[in-house]
Structure 1
Amino acid sequence: MEKTAVLDTHNHILTEVAWEVCNQVGGIYTVIRSKAPVMVKKWGDNYFLIGPYIAKEASTDFEESDLDHPVVNEALKVCRDNGLDIKSGHWLVSGRPQTLLFNHKAMFHELGNIKYYYWQHHAIDFKKHDPLMDEVLAFGYMVHIFLSELTRAALNHKLKPLAHFHEWMAGSAIPDLRRDQVPLQTVFTTHATLLGRYLAMNDPQFYDHLPFLDWNKEANHFNIEANVKLERACVHGAHVFTTVSEVTGKECFHLLGRNPDLILPNGLNIERFSVLHEVQNLHHEYKQQLEQFIMGHFFKSYSFDLNKTMYFFTSGRFEFSNKGYDLTLEALARLNHRLNKANSPLTVVMFFITKQPVHSINPEVLNARAMLDKINNNCDAIVDQIKNKLYRQAAASKGDHKLPNLNVMVDDYWRLRHRRTIQSWKSDELPPVVTHNLVDDANDQILNFLRKSNLVNKKEDNVKIVYHPDFISSTNPLFGMEYDDFVRACHLGIFPSYYEPWGYTPIECLARGVAAVTSDLSGFGDYLKNVPIADEAHGLYLVKRAERSFDEAAEDLTDLMWRFIQISGRDRIDMRNKSEDLSEAFDWKNLYSAYEKSYKMALKTLF
């Protein structure tokens, strides 16, 4: 078999352009950031990232400095002399990639001309006011000028230039680069079609209807015609068009009018998650922290055996159907019924972690946690008092070495204080389902499902719900732990998405030694058919949603969760270690080859 030639990066210069460079918006941020160490290792000084200058993000994540590359410096000088505000330096992430941030808002005075020429040259009308689109066009205008100058300088230095664009927000320079016949080879990656996301949220039979949709009619319906036309212009203007999964590839064909040339699966920098086989110890440590929240939230109303409790969670953007929240809730209701019917001693606490508009943390929830902290402080004081008295009595004892009555060693003050604190904490009310006061409580889809199904944290329910409409971080007064630590504390992550072009959350679970559920409609779930060890023994559970009804998929997910809770503690420890092994298959060191293939394909079209 002929060996594939390795791309000679010394003779090329690669710029990777994304709206999420040094700007945390969505999943592409994770792609670019986690891939950076491998890209820097492969390309060295000939690799650069380009993104928008967002002052708040740049102030913490970006270190401004001069760069040493003669080609880039030559292009920067010309652009800066012509009035473009471009910051150069390094993104402060692993690999410290060379980064250029464009102050696109300084170009807003050119928006009239930018939109006019886009309409004249590409028949795209941006007459509707859209603040985000204004930023995208101004950014694209700067990228077009810079890459034109970079190409000129690169060719003078005998380097072949390449540019890789991620998503339409970063790719708006592509149509003009092709129109001007700039000899720059381009790769464009769509991580999710804009129109597909809108359609999937509003059509429960999206995949069935996909082959018959009129993209222009649907774009007009959702009032995103200009956005979709820009995305199509990027797709058709790039030398090489790629996407992240076969699932999204089919969507691209029908909605964007071009089949992807290659699939570029997303990976992770697995080294960042590595804990050198300490995965079980960390799970135990963080589970104890999580149990502090559980006791504060539930035990004021009633208690259950924490040694027979399992913690499930889901997280991500609030897209009720796309993210599979609807399916997860239905399966949880069915699981609760099964556990009740079987008189099971097990309790499942399910966390929904997603951002929603809120007024504040629910004062009852906050007070319950504070009261538990007071009880903990009381216990510490009582233990210290008993310890001192017990120590002195043991030292002074003569003949009788029996353990004395410890109750008499506690002062009346601490007895009374301890009793009053517990009494003021205990309540006959049900534990709240949601931890915050939502802005639109009455129309919240998660809460409405729970109300209709009467899954409201009753004592007799085996399945309990904690809906946390905010991020988890160490400054969070309810949890007091980082999100990564929260994930390690859990037993199962549930992500049965209906529309998910890739889906990072299951991989991140596996990398932390936590079993995960995905669906065959997600890009990640579809890719698993290429991974021989992607099975339940390695912590990966797959819900089949393609060509199946909602009811069938819900029953499948219920069966899956039922199987998981039957696993013994010893087998779960083994699964945690095997989950880490499975995550290695998604290390960028293994997946970078697809990117290199796309670059070589683009270079074949050179001249």
Structure 2
Amino acid sequence: MAAEKKKYLFEIAWETCNQVGGIYTVIRTKVPSMVEKWGDDYALLGPYFPQTASAEFEPIPVTDETPLGRAIISLRQKGLGIHYGYWLITGKPKIVLFELETLLPKVNEIKGRIWDNHKISTLGVEDLVDQTIVFGEMIRLLLTEVAEENKNKTQLVAHFHEWMASTGLPDLKKDKVKISTVFTTHATMLGRYLAGNVPNFYDVIENFDWHKEAKHYGIEAQACFERAAAQKADVLTTVSDITAKECQYFLGRIPELILPNGLNIQRFAALHEHQNLHSKYKESISNFVMGHFFQSQPFDLDQTLYLFTSGRFEYSNKGYDITLDALAILNRKMKEAGSKKTVVMFFVTKQPYHSIDPEVLHSRAVLDEIRENCHAIEKEVGEHLFKASASSSDLQMPDLNAFVDEYWRMRLRRTVQTWKTNARPKVVTHLLKQEDDIIRNLHRTNLLNNPDDKVKVVYHPDFIVSTNPLFGLDYGQFVRGCHLGVFPSYCEPWGYTPLECMARGVPTVTSDLSGFGDYMMQIMRDYEQWGVSVVNRKTQSYQEAAEQLANLLFKFVQQSQRDRITQRNRVESIADTFDWSNLRAYYDTAHELAIIKKKR
């Protein structure tokens, strides 16, 4: 029996060493698991952008001892800018980055060949498409050279992520280059556009003319590259059954495999510390809440729950619309039930703004001054109380007010007086450049932080980082400090945000139109017992889904603290299900299948 051939895997994405979206998270978190399996027989390919590369890339010398090394040397001699080194992330994989500028002058020549070979029109496309065409050509040249240098000694596999990495894939197929190919679409181009613009999109998906719609939305070249890559690859894969349906109708091919996304869960693991971390970071959020709301609307923090949603500003696709409408229903339900609880809901997304609202910053600063005054009084009272207690003969508790210096009494009173106001707390923390759909919805539903509202809203139109003066937390710490993540998406090919909640021991709400929610429903019958709630957006109307979400939130609000602690423990205990060490097997199958299909 002949010995099995050695294998070598190239993984190719626009987002390798280039943080622009969710695929960066997929690639980056998967690397340790891939290196564990492939070792030195694995390399990533991506574009070279000096700003990101300077932080994440370490160059190493190229030798002619391997087919890849010889190919890089050969292409450098032909004038192509190619960097070779380590990607400085967990796993420290080998990575090849291409200087697109070195081939950009020939972009029209490449476009002409693409038209002649595949009839893909690229006239008048935006600069980004030109860059991806050059990127695809440089990958094609490298892989062709590697295959020739390899001389069939090793089975080569190239795994392409998204159309932006795959513009050269059709020519690899046409030229019969001896390399097995896998193409993964994480979200089809047309799916992204149509889901946000067409009501009940998934119910009518089979009625669309993909080419006509691509022209209508001005993405003809992108959609054509995506379709060509999907049809020419040896194996087509996607991340969920939801996107598989888009592949069938828009790309003209049913995917052979679904590759669910995971995380490097070990990075998030806090062992038995997650409850302590929750308490610690919740306190930081409470400090913000006091500064923001207690000027005019103090409430019991021990009876307050912090909910949040986050992601790109895609008002309908991300489910911000239905979340806001469900919160209005929840507010009514809590009032009718006479609930003693308060819900503070955070919307964390990215929108154009001028600056943080100075009034919001000022309120936080004055609260800090009140705290400092209280600490000074506390210290003064403590000293006097000790002396009075030691010298007392009647064992009575002394009058603490007598120990407070008149200066500190006056200073505290004045500081609190300047802080207190009758104005409603702001719903948005920043000065937006223009009113958007979230603000319009809040006005329509009158969810404006009124004194009698049980649901308060904080709209933070910027991503949370540790240098943020309002929270003093990074995003991961903020998530741990919250009680529930809310992500009832209408179009979400996968959806990392609920998975990131689970990894941090935070219960989450998702939808059956997100890849993650759909996958949870397939692998676990009792997913609700494990802190994951799924809103039915496939078969219910918008209003029915909003009512369902409101009921899920109301049920969560009614839980006891003990119930919530138990739920957090359960959530964290199943997070390992989504560790790449378990999910990499899907990728392994795709690579093996590509090799088998290439042989046929």
**TM-score class, shorter:** over 0.9
TM-score, scaled to structure 2? 0.97
The correspondence of residues 160-559 of structure 1 with structure 2, limited to 5 A, is 160-394=155-389, 397=391, 399-441=393-435, 444-532=436-524, 534-559=526-551
User: What amino acid sits opposite 1:536 in the alignment?
Assistant: E
Shift of 1:546: 0.5
Rounded to whole Å, the distance in 1 between the matches of 2:339 and 2:389 is: 46
Shift of 1:227: 1.1
**Contact kept in structure 1, 2:125 and 2:221, CA below 8 Å:** no
Shift of 1:400: 4.8
Shift of 1:419: 1.1
Structure 2: segments with no counterpart, 5+ residues: none
Find the residue that maps to 1:429 and give its secondary structure: coil
Rounded to whole Å, the distance in 2 between the matches of 1:65 and 1:555 is: 57
Rounded to whole Å, the distance in 2 between the matches of 1:466 and 1:109 is: 49
**Contact kept in structure 2, 1:340 and 1:462, CA below 8 Å:** yes
User: What amino acid sits opposite 2:428 in the alignment?
Assistant: V
Rounded to whole Å, the distance in 2 between the matches of 1:534 and 1:248 is: 24
Shift of 1:534: 5.0
Find the residue that maps to 1:277 and give its secondary structure: helix
**Which of residues 141, 144, 153 is equivalent to 1:145?**
141
Task: Work out whether 1:46 is the aligned partner of 2:17.
Answer: no
What is the aligned partner in structure 2 of residue 596 from structure 1? 588
> Alpha carbons of 1:403 and 1:66: their partners in 2 closer, same or farther (altered >3 Å)?
farther
The correspondence of residues 28-67 of structure 1 with structure 2, limited to 5 A, is 28-66=23-61
Shift of 1:585: 1.1
What is the aligned partner in structure 2 of residue 115 from structure 1? 111
User: What amino acid sits opposite 2:253 in the alignment?
Assistant: R
Shift of 1:126: 1.2
Shift of 1:47: 0.6
Shift of 1:410: 2.1
User: What amino acid sits opposite 2:571 in the alignment?
Assistant: S
Shift of 1:386: 2.2
1:428-481 C-alpha deviation (Å, 9 max, x unpaired): 10000001111112xx00000110111100110000000000011110011110
Shift of 1:394: 4.8
What is the aligned partner in structure 2 of residue 100 from structure 1? 96
Identity %: 52
Rounded to whole Å, the distance in 2 between the matches of 1:94 and 1:347 is: 41
1:466-501 C-alpha deviation (Å, 9 max, x unpaired): 000001111001111011011011111011111011
Structure 1: segments with no counterpart, 5+ residues: 1-6
What is the aligned partner in structure 2 of residue 3 from structure 1? none
What is the aligned partner in structure 1 of residue 75 from structure 2? 79
User: What amino acid sits opposite 1:81 in the alignment?
Assistant: Q
Rounded to whole Å, the distance in 1 between the matches of 2:448 and 2:583 is: 44
Rounded to whole Å, the distance in 2 between the matches of 1:114 and 1:440 is: 42
Find the residue that maps to 2:543 and give its secondary structure: helix
**Contact kept in structure 2, 1:510 and 1:579, CA below 8 Å:** yes
Find the residue that maps to 1:606 and give its secondary structure: helix
Find the residue that maps to 1:541 and give its secondary structure: strand
Shift of 1:251: 0.9
Shift of 1:154: 2.4
Rounded to whole Å, the distance in 1 between the matches of 2:363 and 2:103 is: 52
> Alpha carbons of 1:247 and 1:398: their partners in 2 closer, same or farther (altered >3 Å)?
closer
User: What amino acid sits opposite 1:213 in the alignment?
Assistant: F
Residues 209-218 or 126-135, more deviating = 126-135
RMSD of the TM alignment (CA)? Answer: 1.5
Rounded to whole Å, the distance in 2 between the matches of 1:240 and 1:541 is: 33
What is the aligned partner in structure 2 of residue 4 from structure 1? none
**Which of residues 564, 576, 583 is equivalent to 2:568?**
576
Shift of 1:421: 0.9
Find the residue that maps to 1:605 and give its secondary structure: helix
**Contact kept in structure 2, 1:531 and 1:585, CA below 8 Å:** no
Rounded to whole Å, the distance in 2 between the matches of 1:30 and 1:82 is: 34
Task: Work out whether 1:134 is the aligned partner of 2:126.
Answer: no
TM-score, scaled to structure 1? 0.96
Rounded to whole Å, the distance in 2 between the matches of 1:503 and 1:303 is: 35
Find the residue that maps to 2:553 and give its secondary structure: helix
Residues 351-360 or 407-416, more deviating = 407-416
Find the residue that maps to 2:597 and give its secondary structure: coil
Find the residue that maps to 1:501 and give its secondary structure: coil
User: What amino acid sits opposite 1:432 in the alignment?
Assistant: K
User: What amino acid sits opposite 2:447 in the alignment?
Assistant: L
User: What amino acid sits opposite 1:490 in the alignment?
Assistant: C
Shift of 1:274: 0.5
> Alpha carbons of 1:484 and 1:533: their partners in 2 closer, same or farther (altered >3 Å)?
farther
**Contact kept in structure 2, 1:534 and 1:582, CA below 8 Å:** no
Rounded to whole Å, the distance in 2 between the matches of 1:128 and 1:534 is: 52
User: What amino acid sits opposite 2:421 in the alignment?
Assistant: S
Rounded to whole Å, the distance in 1 between the matches of 2:392 and 2:191 is: 83
Shift of 1:385: 2.1
Rounded to whole Å, the distance in 1 between the matches of 2:397 and 2:17 is: 63
1:10-59 C-alpha deviation (Å, 9 max, x unpaired): 70110100011111111111100110000000000001111111111111
> Alpha carbons of 1:129 and 1:532: their partners in 2 closer, same or farther (altered >3 Å)?
closer
Shift of 1:526: 1.1
Shift of 1:398: 6.2
Shift of 1:548: 1.6
Rounded to whole Å, the distance in 1 between the matches of 2:184 and 2:100 is: 22
**Contact kept in structure 2, 1:91 and 1:97, CA below 8 Å:** yes
Shift of 1:393: 4.4
Find the residue that maps to 1:313 and give its secondary structure: strand
Find the residue that maps to 2:182 and give its secondary structure: strand
Residues 125-134 or 189-198, more deviating = 125-134
